[in-house]
Amino acid sequence: MDPLTIFSLGCGIMQVISFSHETLSIIKCDPKTLNKDELDLLDAASGLVRVIEELETLLSKVAPRSGSKSSLTAARKTMQYWRYESEIDRLEKAMNGFQSVMDSGLLSRLCGKAGSGKSTLMKFLVDHPKTSTALTKWRQNVTILEFFLWNSGSQMQRSIKGLLCSLLYRLLDTQRTLLQQLLSEEPLLQAKEKHFDWSVIDLRRLIIRTLSIQPSPVCIFLDGLDEISNPDRPSDLLKLIEGFDDAPSTKICVSSRPEPAFHLWLGDRPQLKLQALTAKDIRTFVQGSLKNFKGMPETLKNDQKVGQTLEELVILIVEKADGVFLWVWLVLISLETGL
């Protein structure tokens, strides 16, 4: 199996996980009010979540979970295959759009629907050495920080406070001289021992101060803005990001769903839409699947009119999918069952 295929499978796994948790979190009404299709979808999501939980149990026996990126274990495994440069070049050509987005401003955005692969792409960008190389076009010796908001995680994994604690720790852990400077400016900081001792206001003020005196430039990747949970609001998170954006020598890349709140605040910022990045792959997948439907006679497959109709169907599916591979897969299963 070639590396690109393995990467696609990894993306598919992450989309299944995202789809399952999303479906269960959205459908919280009385089952009696759901129609048959919705009940089938809910049953499928519940089954997938059970399988995922069993896999997580097995994985926990091998390696403990750590941090908000632990849900991306499957994606991390697939990334190991990107050391084969001859294979990665094909994907990187499709990611030229991301390079231009990163080059065009200090705050940029990846946008896509739930299950479109935003977190998988963000993980890829954070870990891949060519990201550091690309950032040298902006500044030299860039420090890369990341935080993955996750609404199924702990309170600290889905809150502004957790985000600030994580980023501040990462900044100061490698800059001991910076830490000493802050402690000399504010001696009372030494009395704070746990995250309970900190307020969001103090953390926000301190991290912006840290970014302003940081000797090296910083690039921050923030994934899942829409996964912030109560009592924090999206507007609170966006105001925080604006504060980061005002800090000198700081570049920010965020990802979110195309929700109104984020479009209002970030709509004028450079962005890369996931559906634009994956449209060609989805089209190839749909074309191959339709040609290989078991219920379609060979005579029809070679018919010119049928071929034209299938091509129109391919265009329609790609357009409606809007970057979500899992939706495409469900549609193709439904079509094949109908045949």
Q: Is residue 179 packed enough to be buried (19+ CB in 10 Å), middle (13-18) or exposed (0-12)?
A: middle
Over residues 4-62, the pLDDT tens digits come to 344 444 444 555 555 555 554 544 455 556 666 666 666 666 665 565 555 555 544 44
Task: Please report the sign of the dihedral spanned by the C-alpha atoms of residue 266, residue 267, residue 270, residue 273.
Answer: positive
List, in sequence order, the alpha helices (H) in 292-324.
298-301, 304-321
Alpha-carbon distance values, 325 to 14, 108, 330 (Å): 11, 24, 9
Q: Quick one: CA torsion of 235, 238, 239, 244, rounded to 10 degrees?
A: 170
* AA identity, residue 128: H
Task: Provide the percentage of residues in the chain whose pLDDT is more than 70.
Answer: 65
Q: Quick one: CA torsion of 160, 165, 167, 172, rounded to 10 degrees?
A: 160
Q: Which pair of structure tokens corresponds to residue 76?
A: 């991390």
Beta bridge partners of 254: 109, 222
Whether the CB-CB separation of 21 and 152 falls below 8 Å is answered with yes
Note down pLDDT in tens along the chain; length 339 residues: 443 344 444 444 555 555 555 554 544 455 556 666 666 666 666 665 565 555 555 544 444 343 445 444 444 443 333 333 433 454 455 455 556 656 656 788 889 998 888 998 899 889 888 888 888 888 999 999 999 999 888 889 999 999 999 999 999 887 888 888 998 888 888 888 888 888 999 999 999 999 988 888 999 999 999 999 888 899 999 999 988 877 878 999 999 999 888 888 888 888 888 888 888 889 999 988 888 776 666 655 666 676 778 888 899 999 999 999 889 989 998 888 875
Looking at residue 75, its pLDDT comes to: 40
> In angstroms, how far apart are the furthest CA atoms of the chain?
81
CATH class, range 95-269: alpha beta
Q: Domain boundaries in the chain?
A: 3-75, 95-269, 277-338
Residues 6+ apart with CB under 8 A from 170: 145
**What SS3 string covers 192-204?**
CCCHHHCCHHHHH
What does pLDDT average to over the chain?
76
User: What's the predicted TM-score (pTM) here?
Assistant: 0.69
List, in sequence order, the alpha helices (H) in the chain.
3-26, 36-62, 73-79, 85-94, 96-103, 118-127, 129-135, 160-173, 176-185, 200-213, 234-246, 260-266, 274-291, 298-301, 304-321, 325-338
CB atoms within 10 A of CB 113: 19
